Structure 1
Amino acid sequence: MNPVKWTRTVAGVAVGAGALWLGTAPAAVADESPGAAHLLLNGAFDNRPGELIDIDVRGLRERGGVTVTSPVFRRPVQLTPHRHGGHRHHARPAIAMDVDPGTYPLTVHAGGRVVAEDRVEVRAPRPAVFRVSAPDDVLRPGERLGLSFDDLCPGARGETFTAASPAFRSKVRLTHDPRGPHWNNPRMFTALVALPLDVKDGTYKVTLTGPDGRRVQERPLVVRAARPGDRDYVGRARGPAFFTATGRPDAARTHGHKVAAGGSVNVLWRDASPDPGEEERLTATSPAFEAPVPLRRDDSKAADGAPPRYVGPARVRTGLESGRYPVTVISHHGRVKRTGHLLVTGATGPHAGPTGPGPGRALPLAGAAGAALAAAGAVAVLLRRRRRAAAGARQ
């Protein structure tokens, strides 16, 4: 669905040194390397007719037009100076639809000179294709699937397409996103759709229709809920665990974490295979919380090989009695229920932080009173020692 497009960078050919120093400066002068331009082609390989090529020329001090010529384009392409300056020129032209497969030269001109050269590869066109996820995929209720229609063919028309299926709640509109991953294909139309949570097991037909309502293509879609024995039936759930409002998830504890009434605590949940769509519905509930806590995925753990984790901040109710309070997370459509316990302590005064005293926080009143008593005791001991020393001297 997403063809890989590589970026190739080449240094341009040198501009004549004599022209640089004899008072007849050329219309283009390299900025970084004297007399050279830097050409970047994103889409230089494996193109089809009709696809776009991103051309970026850097390092030219423009004193005239910068153009690109190639047999793959119908006419010379005028590059536009970058709006933020920086001696950059840019264009994104399309390969002509009637270009035969092969490798073609591409040349950058500035000030009447050739300042950079490269080559562009073109392959044969292919028939239009409608895709629903990947072949042989089995989708779960609630799972998101991608729809794409690629009709980069001569004579193709239409700016939007529609997909319908008994597995969908409503029709789905496919559109082209020029800023998306398929920017190079102006005839790639895509959409994302979430299956309903209550969709039944079965094989469904997905029908694509054009702007005029005509049927374009159809694809099958297999839906099956997780069953006992499936790897994702109950996932690998762990938690809930708890860590301080300013702490790290790695320090989370399932039991024994303390928090003051009226304070805050983070709830952590791990699951290697949550049910599709569950990531938007995971919550932690507790009689100690002011409200149920939505648990959102922590993307910072996305690439370290650990099971996905979900975090949410909870506010503990004020006025709670000290004690041990349950915190519960239910997942996998009720098949998994886990309960951890949070130790709530009574608030110790107006200087208590949201999770109790810590570095840089004022001592609680009780702690300050204890420090004062300890200081008074030390003074009393010192006075007693002095009195004993004076009595010994008189004897």
Structure 2
Amino acid sequence: MRANWQRAVAVGVCGGVLSCGGLVGPAAADEDPPTISQAFAGPRPGEAIGIDLLNYQRKPGVPLVAESPVFAAPVRMDDPAGDTGGEGVKAPIPASAEPGTYPLVVRARGKIVARDTIVVKPPKRPSIDVDEDGARRPGTTVNLFFDDLYPGETGNSFTAHSTAFTSPARLAHDKQAWNNTRTFNALNVPMSHTLKDGTYAVWVTDAHGRRKAESRLEVRSARPGDDDYLGKAEGPAFFGQSGRLFNARARGFTIAAGSTVYVRWQDAYPDPGEEERMTATSPAFRAPARLSFDLPKGHEGDDPIFWGAARIKPGLRPGSYPVTVVSHRGRVKKTSYLTVSQGSARGDGDDGLPTAVWAGVGGGALVLGAGAAALLIRRRGRAPLA
């Protein structure tokens, strides 16, 4: 579908003024005759192209009309209803048009001021495209584009299926695609993070369950040598009071039994979807600590940070307890030790949630509430993911 959105755009510069999108500059020089430009050239039957006239000084009250045997009717170049918002005026190609080459002229008061040709391509069976070519990581999302422009195709209820998806994806009609009225898409369709490497079928069904089109999706996990194979993990580290995220430390941290400790984890290349499943576990915690992405110092180029709160068991026997974080689908496992005291926590502990984490942003300040952590995943130098 998108591969067919080819544009042949002629650009005219007259007297130093660019003429395009219906804007008119000074009269063109003799060596620069009026030129017809076509947006979405090479249409199929049922599609539309955008037509514009370049290098031409339009005169008030003199309409320009585009004519071609392939049009159902002449096209007024100044018709507001046909304005495409920068691609010229919309010129529909009837669904009954035969493939071939057709002459195109633009007239002013019956006089031909420019000539061109329209090449109509053959119809194409309905098709489903999955993003661009190349492999996707487990746990990432994909974009789906369904092209249903073919004689006799009807309906507007379509669903995309794949064993790679967490659930079937409903395809919505793309009303912005004025050149093709039979396009449907689904954006950011999630894939399971437990997928095995391989090629997965993607198919589209209509409201009656009939299969309309099929494609393939390649999934490949990170491998040794990829930047994101093991990431660049640091932690777990601990802090215990508001604003101390930057001072978290992996050693020598003491917290009182029954208090709340905050765990920080940092990774240059988190696995896709880890923001939804990262936890820290410890025999000292009442429950695993849910670690969420945050943006405390993203403007300074820091690696993505996870952090979250854990409640120390009340009445826990004093001592040193392991805290473990597992990431990258089990490939990375790191443990730090937390000291639990029977009494107060020597100034380290804090029973309340951090009310805010402050980070300077452009000379101002960014406040990130504990319940509204911002998500930042940077993939510096990562091998391209399709």
TM bucket (normalised to shorter chain) is: 0.5 to 0.7
Partner residue, 1:237: 231
Answer whether contact 1:82 1:90 (CA < 8 A) is retained.
no
Q: Which runs of 5+ in 1 are unaligned?
A: 13-28, 242-259, 285-290, 301-307, 315-327, 341-345, 347-353, 360-395
Answer whether contact 1:233 1:332 (CA < 8 A) is retained.
no
Q: Distance in 2 between matches of 1:203 and 1:355?
A: 43
Please state which structure has a larger fraction of its residues in helix: 1
| Residues 363-378 of structure 1: pairs in structure 2 closer than 5 A | none
Query: 1:27-81: CA deviations, max 9, x gaps?
Result: xx9942326766432123x332222212234653441433211223221112346
Q: 1:232 to 1:160 in 2, by over 3 A?
A: farther
User: Helix, strand or coil: the match of 1:9?
Assistant: coil
| Residues 164-203 of structure 1: pairs in structure 2 closer than 5 A | 164-179=161-176, 184-192=179-187, 193-198=189-194
Answer whether contact 2:68 2:74 (CA < 8 A) is retained.
yes
User: Helix, strand or coil: the match of 2:92?
Assistant: coil
Answer whether contact 1:176 1:189 (CA < 8 A) is retained.
yes
Partner residue, 1:32: 25
Q: Distance in 2 between matches of 1:299 and 1:68?
A: 53
Whether 1:48 aligns to 2:44 is yes
Q: Distance in 1 between matches of 2:202 and 2:154?
A: 21
Q: Which has the larger radius of gyration?
A: 1
Query: 1:184-232: CA deviations, max 9, x gaps?
Result: 33323222321133456787664422134433345566667x38x5555
TM-score, normalised relative to structure 2 = 0.53
Q: Distance in 2 between matches of 1:282 and 1:161?
A: 35
Q: Which runs of 5+ in 2 are unaligned?
A: 14-21, 236-240, 248-264, 281-289, 308-323, 337-347, 349-357, 364-386
TM-score, normalised relative to structure 1 = 0.52
Answer whether contact 2:166 2:190 (CA < 8 A) is retained.
no
Task: Compare relative contact order (CA 8 Å, sep 6+) and give the higher one, 1 or 2.
Answer: 2
Partner residue, 2:99: 101
Sequence identity percentage: 36
Answer whether contact 1:164 1:207 (CA < 8 A) is retained.
yes
How many residues align? The count is 292
| Residues 1-395 of structure 1: pairs in structure 2 closer than 5 A | 1-3=1-3, 4-9=5-10, 31-34=24-27, 39-44=36-41, 46-57=42-53, 60-80=58-78, 90-131=88-129, 140-179=137-176, 184-192=179-187, 193-198=189-194, 206-218=202-214, 226=221, 235=229, 237-238=231-232, 262=243, 269-271=267-269, 274-278=270-274, 294-295=293-294, 311=304, 331-336=327-332
Query: 1:302-330: CA deviations, max 9, x gaps?
Result: xxxxxx9855699xxxxxxxxxxxxx986
Answer whether contact 2:140 2:272 (CA < 8 A) is retained.
yes
Q: Distance in 2 between matches of 1:234 and 1:214?
A: 40
